Amino acid sequence: MIWVIVGLLILLAALGAPLFAILGAIALIGFHMAGQEGIAVAVEFYRLSDMPALIAIPLFTLAGYILAESKTPQRLVRLTNALVGWLPGGLAIVAVLACTLFTAFTGATGVTIIALGAVLYPALRQAHYGEKFSLGLLTASGSLGLLLVPSMPLILYGVVAQQFQTTPPVSIDALFKAGVLPCLLMVVMLGAYSAWHVRNVARPQAAPRGELMAATKDAAWEIPLPFVILIGIYSGKLAASEAAAATALYVLIVTVLIRREIKLAELPRVIRHAMVLVGGILVILGFSLALTNWLIDAEVPEKLFQFLRTHIPESNPFLFLLALNLFLLVFGMLLEGFPAIILLVPLVLPVAVRYGIDPVHLGIIFLANLQLGIFLPPLGINLYIASARFRQPVMTLVRAAVPFFLIMLAATLIITYWPGLSLWLAR
């Protein structure tokens, strides 16, 4: 009977049934078969209101949507171009840096490709960068920033992971700290490759005298924002939720009242779009927490661990991490970031801890792989967003992104097998 139900749910998922409905159905069926009332699912939604870190999600989302609707992308590109555009491959480095920062603040890789692609792609082509190189660079760079504060996927991983009360514990602040150096590694590796690849392109002229000062003045309200968040969190003065509140208030005041790039009449529309995304995340998260509790009660992670132990000895975490990377790459391609985190963390985290993997380090491995899977064929969502944005066939983008994928894969393996890179600041 159980296999008939599972088969039916898989069929419904393949036909396009909403993810929250599938999660809710599995949780309800699981609790029913365990002899428990269905109210156990509703209780998890009540528990959402008792999670202090959860308030960071709607606040950072709102700040990201407001920034995306303003002229912040253009100011960000202008500032980074004035800073490093004169270097060999400077405009490519500008693209990497701008995409990383914008994705970190919006939490949405597709938004980065749409918002910055319109600015950066014509600039790259005008600077005589090859079409294939430019397309691959922007398609791959669109997913950078998921590891950098205040990335929403980092917050979501922390919220889900905290349900398992691991030792050592998982805190949002620790995840924010852990992601900085791995993200910097990816940025440096992509920037170095880009500079090498375009070494034969004419070196760009230095920015006109006074351009750096003008660009800095133009972005004067945006520049303090990441530093306030980073210093506040790393100094322990601000919790993640407090940093989110400060960020949302600051962005709202600057964009609406000072710069007036979003009119008061347009603000309800922006807020509505942001909260639709937040509402979807919370609904999925509530059902996911119910499913997580059922998985724990049914000892599914323990059974999964026992199965793996017969093929991968507990004393061989190296092989486990390799298998984990392959697993996450595949599911990162099949699922978008938020559903992948919500669905896979309850299965992966308890098993990884038994293999001696630090849960904070695991979060960085998790998101590093999702950064790759999101532009992997045949189902990586960023491929289709980039295809629509740049009006290019998907396979053209796949071929263009191969070198960047290999570099990010190498960085992911370094992150995986060098836990100190993630944990040096976090612990």
Q: Encode pLDDT of 259-304 as tens digits.
A: 888 888 888 898 888 888 778 777 777 777 777 777 767 766 667 6
Mean pLDDT across the stretch 42-50?
A: 72
Angstrom CA distances, 187 to 99, 108, 125, 277, 385, stand at 10, 18, 21, 28, 22
Nearest to 341 by CA among 214, 153, 185, 78: 153
Write down the pLDDT at residue 410: 93
Alpha carbon distance 328, 378 (integer Å): 15
The larger pLDDT score, comparing residue 210 to residue 136, is at 136
- What SS3 state is found at 404? helix
Provide the H-helix boundaries in 49-143. Answer: 56-69, 72-84, 90-106, 109-126, 131-141
Q: Which is more confidently placed, 123 or 261? A: 261
pLDDT confidence of residue 5: 54
Rounded (5°) CA angle 85-100-372: 120
Report pLDDT for 66: 85
Residues 6+ apart with CB under 8 A from 376: 329, 332, 333, 383, 405
Residue 168's pLDDT is what? 80
161, pLDDT greater than 80: yes
Looking at residue 22, its pLDDT comes to 73
pLDDT value at 376 more than 90: no
Q: Indicate the pTM of the whole model.
A: 0.80
Q: What is the mean pLDDT of residues 319-333?
A: 83
Written as six digits, the tokens of 183 are 């993200």
Under a CB-based contact definition with an 8 Å cutoff, are residues 26 and 120 in contact? no
Compare 239 and 272 and report the one with higher pLDDT: 272
Q: How much is the pLDDT for 417?
A: 93
If one counts every other C-beta atom within 10 angstroms of the C-beta of residue 274, the result is 22
pLDDT in tens, 336-351: 667 778 778 888 888 8
Kindly list the distances between the CA atom of residue 124 and the CA atoms of 73, 137, 165, 209, 313, in Å, as whole numbers in the listed order. Answer: 16, 10, 47, 22, 49
Contact 212, 83 (CB under 8 A): yes
Instruction: Report how far residue 90's alpha carbon sits from residue 102's, in angstroms, rounded to the nearest whole number.
Output: 18
Q: Which DSSP letter does residue 379 get? A: T
> 326: pLDDT confidence band, cut at 50, 70 and 90?
confident
